[in-house]
Amino acid sequence: MRIGIIGKTNKEEVFEIARELCSWLQERNIEVYVEKELGKEMGHPNSIPPTELPELVDVVIVFGGDGTFLGVARLVCKYDIPILGVNLGGLGFLTEIAIRELYPMMERIISGQYSVEKREMLYATIHRGTVDRIGDYVVLNDVVINKGAVARMIDLALYINGSHVANFRADGIILSTPTGSTAYSLSAGGPIIYPTLPLTIITPICSHTLTNRPLVVSSETTIRIKVLSDTPDTYLTLDGHVGVTLKMGDVVEVMKSDSSVKLIKSPFRDYFEILKTKLMWGERYGAVEG
């Protein structure tokens, strides 16, 4: 077995944890490859550029939060290899494993006693004028069209499978996978969707018309959003990281991606336990004992 390690290098603890894990794996004759920036600092002999690492390994271990995991997911998805997310703080929706659970989980991975959950991704393309496309992207969480902090509302037209659904005047719109339903979409009033369901969530952001509510459609549909207004500072944001400036007349087309992410599941808790913990369901605030 060959294992790749990628970590958030702005945290000092990552280097120590990764160094200990490399030694532990090498004692078990496991070949280890480390992402170049992290590996160089550690002095690891197999320090590989991140774009080359996925094709050399069977499993990728990610140290960081959900944001780090999203970047690795986009990098790894086309190689069809599983990812284990290890959270350095509290539990994440994607980084389900706590540091104290790392070595019991690694024992399971080495022995092949682990389960994988497939997460669908979205494929987004930008069309401008007579040019067929000016960009294409694959995301795990969401595709967002929104405005800058001081820009006016955006006018957007929504089409599903070629049929015009509605025009929105809003701060923007979020197209989300079920995995991303607990991210930006949730904060904008979108529903929580079980992460393996084949659905796409369409959530307006602060719509001018209160009847413009979130809409859930099959992931097999093709969604097109056309920018109708010449509003400055209109952006397409992908998984909260990649930003592209949009112009009036641009069309963003979103559909199910051919790529998907294989997420190694935690054997220590299920999705609903993570949901309750992260959203603090059942907590009592200001309760007075009588």
What confidence tens digit (pLDDT) does each residue in 121-152 have?
Answer: 999 999 998 777 888 999 999 999 998 776 67
**Structure tokens belonging to residue 103:** 């070595």
Residue 21 lies in a domain: yes
What confidence tens digit (pLDDT) does each residue in 247-263 have?
Answer: 999 999 999 999 999 99
Residue 89 lies in a domain: yes
For residues 101 and 173, membership in a common domain is answered with no
Residue 284 lies in a domain: no
Please say whether the beta carbons of 207 and 170 come within 8 A. yes
* pLDDT in the model for residue 290: 43
Does 171 qualify as catalytic in the annotation? no
**Structure tokens belonging to residue 207:** 């719509």
Residue 288 lies in a domain: no
CA dist 98 and 82 (Å) reads 18
**CATH no. for residue 241?**
2.60.200.30
* pLDDT in the model for residue 285: 55
Averaged pLDDT of the chain? 91
Query: pLDDT-derived band of residue 286, with 50, 70 and 90 as boundaries?
Result: low
Chain centroid offset of residue 187 CA: 15
**CATH no. for residue 24?**
3.40.50.10330
pTM: 0.89
What confidence tens digit (pLDDT) does each residue in 50-109 have?
Answer: 999 999 999 999 998 888 899 999 999 999 999 999 988 766 788 889 999 999 999 999
Selected catalytic residue, list 66, 142, 171, 239:
66
What confidence tens digit (pLDDT) does each residue in 7-64 have?
Answer: 988 878 899 999 999 999 999 999 999 999 999 888 899 999 999 999 999 999 999 8
Query: pLDDT-derived band of residue 283, with 50, 70 and 90 as boundaries?
Result: low
For residues 77 and 176, membership in a common domain is answered with no
User: How many structural domains comprise the chain?
Assistant: 2
Task: Give Cα separations from 250 to 144, 145, 146, 218 (angstroms).
Answer: 14, 11, 13, 24
Provide the domain limits for residue 67: 2-115+265-279
